[in-house]
Homo-oligomer: A and B are copies of this chain.
Amino acid sequence: MAGGPSTPELAVAVGRAGGLGFLAAGYKRADAVGSEIRAVREATPAPFGVNVFVPTPEPADPDRFREYLRRIAPEAERQGAELGEPRFDDDDWEAKLALVCAERPAVVSFTFGCPAWDVVDRLHRADIAVWVTITNVEEARAAHAAGADGLVVQGTEAGGHRGGWLSDGSDEGGVGLLALLRTVSHATPLPLIATGGIMDGAALAAVLCAGASAAQLGTALMLAPEAATAEAQRALLAEQRATRVTRAFSGRPARGIVNRFMSEHSATAPLAYPEIHHATSPLRAAARRRGDADAFNLWAGQAHELVQARPAGEIVRQIADEASAVLERVAGGRRVTRPSA
């Protein structure tokens, strides 16, 4: 939920409801993340996690994205903005590692890569549990080998960026959550945190049966008053609208509600992150301000139309209670109706 919806207030509300709230460190300077950590701690003693982006190993060849920048320049103009510099950076990686090792949140989860063994070790020595976001079995094995304590198993259903880093040759959208949980369960002994399209208690019950120890919610919390979701995006999240995976906005595959920008630019968008992210950032910010939902990224997971506009704590409690009720009902039903062998 980096780049918008994530707020300290949301993490606090989730923590107070008995969930594990997360702060999104991505796209922010380390000092801003430090302020958010302190804000959460001032509001609640509940444990929380911090999500950190692993840097792209090296810059993209500018030849790969020059033509794309030419194509989208009129989009910036249309918003009264200019394209940003297509720069490469590491999202303040070292400073963020130093910050979390000093602040010691309960969990640090990583996205876009697997931290090296020595980084995992450094976090472990600070008593921080390390989770790694994975989208296929290869990544699960790599994260296990690096010493991860848990895997955030991201199905194709998930909104926002695909969190993996190794292509296994599958469709760009990746593997469905159920199939991924089952194959990863066989490939590593690590606890699995399921994510992607989990909007209610029935879905939570389902992933627990499929081998997850917990579920991570994203889209399900985006209409909560504690989330800083853009107004123009709020209006669309509760509607039945198709989503697709695209590189058009950031140069990296991510799932969002289909809009004009996505339809016009997905076919030609290069793989070049964070360069394209920085290039489109001013025009997306301008579109968000202007309420032009056809020109910025409407990240959303599949089944987003089931989203609820309620306080985050109520959503978390309701999903947990519903999951227990569903499990009781389905297990009970099989006890009664199952034919004798």
Mark A residues whose CB is within 8 Å of B: 18, 137, 155-157, 168-171, 173, 175-183, 185-186, 196-200, 202-203, 205-211, 240, 242-245, 258, 301-303, 305-306, 317, 320-321, 323-324, 326-328, 330-331, 334-335, 338-339, 341
Query: Can you list 26 A-B contacts with CB-CB less than 8 angstroms, sorted by A residue number?
Result: A155-B176, A157-B178, A169-B244, A170-B258, A171-B243, A173-B173, A176-B176, A176-B197, A178-B207, A178-B303, A179-B197, A179-B303, A182-B202, A182-B306, A183-B305, A183-B306, A202-B209, A205-B209, A206-B207, A321-B341, A323-B334, A324-B334, A324-B338, A327-B327, A327-B334, A328-B331
Q: What residues on B are CB-neighbors of A171 within 8 Å?
A: 171, 173, 243-245
B156 touches A178 (CB 8 A): no
Decide if B196 touches A176 in the complex (CB within 8 Å): yes
Query: What is the CB-to-nearest-CB distance from A267 to chain B, in angstroms, rounded to a whole number?
Result: 11
Task: Return A140 CB to nearest CB of chain B, in Å.
Answer: 11
Q: Which residues of chain B are near A137, meaning CB under 8 Å?
A: 240
Number of this chain's copies in the assembly equals 2
**In the complex, which residues of chain B have a beta carbon less than 8 angstroms from the beta carbon of A198?**
178
The complex places the Cα of A258 from the Cα of B243 at a distance, in Å, of: 24
Q: A182-B197, A183-B305 are in contact. List 17 more A-B contacts (CB 8 A).
A: A18-B339, A157-B176, A169-B244, A176-B178, A176-B197, A178-B196, A178-B198, A181-B206, A182-B200, A205-B210, A206-B210, A321-B341, A323-B334, A324-B338, A327-B327, A328-B331, A331-B331
